[in-house]
């Protein structure tokens, strides 16, 4: 069965090697929904073996992802307060460059990231006709009217998964809640981002907001949703994005998210045990253009090799270093003591 990953390049150029992102958009996605069989229940989860291996190509969103209108019982924070917060953060980033504590190129990307995330989250929380909201402390779920049950499933599993993902990664849970937008169906989610509704994703992270398809329309029951769904994967993207202020390459967040899937749900793709011989320049600078198995297989492989060199807390230290404005390769050298380019298959052995 074929499947597509929903993915767009990250917002910051690391060491000048990453391709620029689609205008106003950053994101990363979980596996897509395989085509339904002619008969029988919903999608099968692919692993290292079995009859339903997941493979395919990953798409790239063109332009900023649209954010559905929402309505809820609580009004969002006043836009003036959000603008003031964004202005303060931008000032801090600029001062850090002036004082010599960060790369100007990285800080410019992070300034754009701050504005983009603040805008996307504010838009998602604005009350609009036809949309409702569930607030549950660390999680906020926006959903279309008539899809409350699916939204409750998303809320409950996100609340269960968030502390587990935080423990696995060692990344801090932000004070602000994780914002989920539930779309009416996988096809509706695909159409929202301009993708083929016949090849839809189940989840997608973009600019501080996690988009998921209503699990009632494809999973059928909570167990299937937990086993096949994108929630832990997308939460991993969100935690890294917030902790590093958007400063990391695409392959790194996809390697992390796959490792989280493996640890939290036991799910792995067919390529999980392989280390495809992908050139560092392609992995780090042209990730979205690589075949899915090569891109995601190499991403997980290099991520695992980094983890093998470190003890507990290394990822949190790396994220903190990245948030401080260090280029990715320099931050990896500082925290892990290795040049990341030497970890790809076919490169000279790392020290």
pLDDT digits (tens, 9 = 90+) for 241-276: 999 999 999 999 999 999 999 999 887 777 667 788
List pLDDT tens digits, range 308-343. 988 778 999 999 999 999 999 999 999 999 999 999
Tokens of 135: 């607030």
Give yes or no for a contact between 5 and 31, defined as CB atoms under 8 angstroms apart: yes
Domain assignment of residue 108, yes or no: yes
Q: Is residue 350 part of a domain?
A: no
Measure the CA–CA gap between 157 and 174, rounded to whole angstroms: 18
Taking 3-state DSSP, the helix, strand and coil percentages for the chain, each rounded to the nearest 5, stand at 45, 10, 45
Q: Is residue 165 part of a domain?
A: yes
Distances (CA, A) of 330 to 113, 318, 325, 338: 20, 10, 10, 9
Residue 24: predicted pLDDT: 35
**DSSP annotation string for 259-322:** HHHHHHT----TTTT------HHHHHH-GGGS-HHHHHHHHHHHHHHHHHT--TTHHHHHHHHH
pLDDT for 84 equals 58
For residue 74, tell me if it sits in a domain.
yes
Cα–Cα dist 313/7, whole Å: 27
Using alpha carbons, select from 205, 296, 285, 284 the residue that is nearest to residue 255.
Answer: 296
Q: Quick check: helix, strand or coil at residue 197?
A: coil
Residue 41 lies in a domain: no
Q: Say whether 85 sits in a helix, a strand or coil.
A: helix
Domain count, the chain: 1
Which domain, by its residues, includes 279?
5-35+46-343
Classify residue 351: in a domain, yes or no.
Answer: no
Intervals of the chain under pLDDT 50: 1-26, 30-76, 94-100, 348-351
Is the C-alpha dihedral spanning 277, 279, 285, 289 positive or negative? Answer: negative
Q: Of all residues in the chain, what percent carry a pLDDT higher than 70?
A: 69
| Reduced 3-state DSSP string for 6-37 | ECECCCCCCCCCCCCCCCCCCEEECCECCCCC
| In-domain check, residue 197 | yes
Handedness of CA 286, 287, 292, 298 (dihedral sign): positive
Residue-level pLDDT at 107: 86
């Amino acid at each position: 069965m074929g499947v597509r990953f929903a993915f767009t390049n990250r917002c910051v150029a690391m060491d000048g090697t990453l391709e620029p992102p689609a205008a106003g958009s950053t994101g990363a996605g979980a596996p897509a929904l395989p085509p339904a069989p002619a008969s029988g229940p919903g999608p099968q989860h692919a692993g290292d073996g079995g009859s339903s291996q997941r493979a395919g190509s990953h798409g790239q969103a063109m332009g900023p992802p649209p954010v559905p209108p929402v309505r809820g019982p609580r009004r969002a924070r006043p836009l003036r307060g959000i603008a003031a917060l964004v202005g303060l953060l931008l000032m801090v980033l600029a001062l850090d460059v002036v004082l010599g504590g960060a790369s100007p190129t990285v800080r410019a990307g992070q300034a754009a990231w701050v504005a983009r995330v603040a805008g996307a989250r504010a838009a998602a929380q604005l009350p609009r006709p036809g949309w409702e909201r569930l607030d549950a402390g660390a999680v906020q779920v926006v959903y279309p009217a008539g899809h409350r049950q699916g939204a409750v499933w998303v809320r409950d599993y996100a609340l269960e998964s968030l502390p587990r993902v935080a423990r696995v990664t060692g990344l801090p849970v932000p004070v602000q809640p994780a914002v989920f937008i539930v779309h009416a169906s996988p096809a509706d989610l695909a159409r929202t981002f301009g993708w083929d509704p016949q090849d839809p994703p189940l989840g997608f992270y973009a600019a501080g907001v996690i988009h998921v398809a209503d699990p009632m329309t494809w999973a059928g029951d909570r167990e299937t949703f937990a086993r096949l769904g994108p929630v832990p994967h997308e939460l991993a993207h969100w935690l890294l994005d917030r902790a590093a202020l958007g400063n990391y390459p695409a392959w790194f967040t996809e390697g992390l998210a796959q490792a989280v899937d493996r640890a939290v749900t036991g799910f792995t793709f067919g390529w999980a045990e392989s280390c495809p011989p992908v050139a560092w320049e392609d992995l780090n600078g042209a990730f979205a253009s690589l075949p899915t198995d090569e891109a995601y297989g190499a991403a997980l492989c290099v991520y695992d090799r980094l983890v093998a060199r470190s003890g507990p807390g290394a990822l949190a230290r790396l994220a903190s270093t990245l948030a401080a404005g260090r280029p990715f390769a320099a931050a990896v050298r500082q925290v892990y003591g290795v040049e990341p380019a030497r970890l790809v298959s076919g490169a000279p052995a790392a020290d």
